Chain A
Amino acid sequence: MSAWKEFSKGFYKQNPVFKQALGLCPTLAVTSSVENGLGMGLAATFVLICSNVLISLIRKGVPNKIRIPVYIVVIATFVTLVDLAMAGFMPDLHKSLGIFVPLIVVNCIILGRAEAFAGKNNVGLSLLDGLGMGFGFTAALCLLGAIREVMGNGSLMGFPVLSASFEPVLIMILPPGAFLTIGFVLGFFNWLENRKDAKR
C-alpha cells in the first residue's frame, strides 16, 4: 500500500511542476511541442530513476558533510550518458532540446528527490519514487506542450488537429506563450484546490 503511495504521489498530489514549482526552466523552454516535452520528460525520468537508485544504494557509505557534491557527481554522470546517447541515436531531438540536455544536471527536481527521498529510503521505494516523480514531470511537460502546440500551431504530435480555417496563435509557441500557459495552468490547479476546500 505504501509502495503505491510513493509511486503515485508524483502524479498529482506532489506533482513536481504544478505543486512544488520545481524544474521550471526546462518546463518552459522545451514545451513548444508535445514531442519535445515528451523527449525532455523521458530523459529527465531516466536520470531521476538511475540517480535515485544509485544514491539509495550508496547512501550509507557517503559522509553527511559531502553528500551534496557526491549527489551532483552521480547525477552529472547519468546526464552525460543521456546526452551522449541522445546525440548518437536521436540527433534531431538532441538538437531541438539544445543546451537543456546538459542542464538536466541542475534540474532541482533530481537533486531535490536525492536529498529528500533517496538519501533516506531503500532502493525499492527510491525506484518507485523516481518513476512516479518522473512520470509526473513528463505528464506536466506533455500537458503544457499539448496546449501550446494546439493553440500555436494547430497540431498535436505534428499532426494537424484543427481545421484549416483556424488561425494559429503564434505567440503561444514563442517564449511569452510559455509563461502565459504555465501561469494559467497553475491558476487552474489552484482553482480546483480552492473549490475542493470550499466544499469541505
Chain B
Amino acid sequence: MEFKALMIIALGAIFINNFVFSRFLGICPYIGVSRQLDSAVGMGAAVVFVMTLASAVTWLIYEYLLAPSPANIFFRFFALTEPPDLTFLRTIAFILVIASLVQFVEMVIQKVSPSLYSSLGIYLPLITTNCAILGAAILNIDEQYTFIESVVHGLAAGVGFTLALILMAGIRERLELAEIPRSLQGIPIAFIMAGLMAMAFLGFSGLKLGM
C-alpha cells in the first residue's frame, strides 16, 4: 500500500504535474541550458541530486524547527508551555537552507570527486536561484507529505525536470540546422517548441492513478 502511494506521487510528479510543462518551475535553466545535450544531462543530474537532498532537509527543518508540533525542538528542550508557531519563517529558512546546501554540496563534490566536479561544478551555483528547488520544498509542505513521500516527490520532480530538459536539448540540437524566420530564432522558437511539448504532456493529465 505504502509503495503504491509512493509510485503514484512519483509518476504524478514526472508526467502529470511535470515541473516544467505544467507547474512552470525552473523555466530559466530550462531555456538557458537546453542548447546542448551534454550540458542538459549535467544540469539535470545536478538538479535531481540537490532537489532530493533539499526536499529531505527542508522537511526536517520545517517539522522540527518551524511547525507547531509536539516534536518541535524549541518546545522539547526549552521548556515552553506550548509549541511555538514559526511557520511564517518558512520562506526565509528554506532559501537559506537551500543556498547553504548547494554551497556545501559543491565543496564536498570538489573534495571527493574532482572529475564529477568538473562536469557538474558550473551548474551547481546556478541551482540556488532555480525556483524548482524551492518550489519542490514548498509543495512538499503544502501537500502535507510525510518524510518519505517528500523525498520521493523531490526525486521524481528532478527526474521530470531532467526528462523535459533532455527532450528539449535533443530537439534544439536539430533545430540549429532548420530554417527558422529570423525573428523567431533563439529563445522564441524554444518557447514555441516547449508549448508543443507541453501539449503532448497535457495528454498525461487524463491519466487516472487510483489506488
A residues near B (Cβ < 8 Å) are: 21-22, 24-26, 28-29, 69, 72-73, 76-77, 79-80, 83-84, 99, 102-103, 105-108, 111, 171, 174-180, 182-184, 186-188, 190-191, 194
B residues near A (Cβ < 8 Å) are: 21-28, 31, 88-92, 95-96, 99, 129-131, 134-135, 138-139, 142, 181-185, 187-192, 194-196, 198-199, 202
- Are A176's CB and B187's CB within 8 A? no
Q: What would 18 more interface pairs be, CB under 8 Å, given A72-B99, A76-B96?
A: A21-B187, A24-B28, A24-B31, A25-B26, A73-B92, A76-B91, A105-B134, A106-B129, A171-B199, A175-B21, A175-B22, A179-B198, A183-B191, A183-B194, A186-B187, A186-B191, A187-B188, A190-B185
- Are B131's CB and A25's CB within 8 A? yes
A175 contact from B181, B184, B198, Cβ within 8 A: B198
* Chain A residue, CB-CB nearest to B103: A69
- Are A186's CB and B131's CB within 8 A? no
Q: How many A-B residue pairs have CB under 8 A?
A: 115
Task: Say whether, besides A25-B28, A25-B131, A102 and B99 are in contact (CB < 8 Å).
Answer: no
* Chain A residue, CB-CB nearest to B24: A29
* Chain A residue, CB-CB nearest to B28: A24
With a cutoff of 8 Å between Cβ atoms, the chain B residues found around residue A194 in the complex are 182-183
- Are A103's CB and B195's CB within 8 A? no
With a cutoff of 8 Å between Cβ atoms, the chain A residues found around residue B135 in the complex are 99, 103
The 5 closest A-B pairs by CB, nearest first: A183-B191, A179-B195, A29-B24, A183-B192, A180-B195
- Are A190's CB and B188's CB within 8 A? yes
- Are A182's CB and B23's CB within 8 A? no
A103 contact from B31, B131, B187, Cβ within 8 A: B131
17 A-B pairs in the complex with CB atoms less than 8 angstroms apart: A21-B28, A25-B28, A26-B24, A76-B92, A80-B92, A99-B142, A106-B130, A174-B202, A175-B22, A176-B202, A179-B198, A182-B191, A183-B191, A186-B188, A187-B188, A190-B183, A190-B184
Give the one of B24, B31, B190 with max A CB within 10 A: B24
- Are B92's CB and A84's CB within 8 A? no
* Chain B residue, CB-CB nearest to A79: B91
- Are B91's CB and A105's CB within 8 A? yes
With a cutoff of 8 Å between Cβ atoms, the chain B residues found around residue A77 in the complex are 92
CA distance A196 to B24 in the complex (A): 33
CA distance A90 to B134 in the complex (A): 23
- Are A187's CB and B184's CB within 8 A? yes
Tell me, rounded to whole Å, the shortest Cβ–Cβ distance linking A179 to chain B: 3
Tell me, rounded to whole Å, the shortest Cβ–Cβ distance linking B78 to chain A: 24
With a cutoff of 8 Å between Cβ atoms, the chain A residues found around residue B130 in the complex are 106
CA distance A111 to B131 in the complex (A): 13
- Are A180's CB and B95's CB within 8 A? no
With a cutoff of 8 Å between Cβ atoms, the chain A residues found around residue B184 in the complex are 183, 187, 190
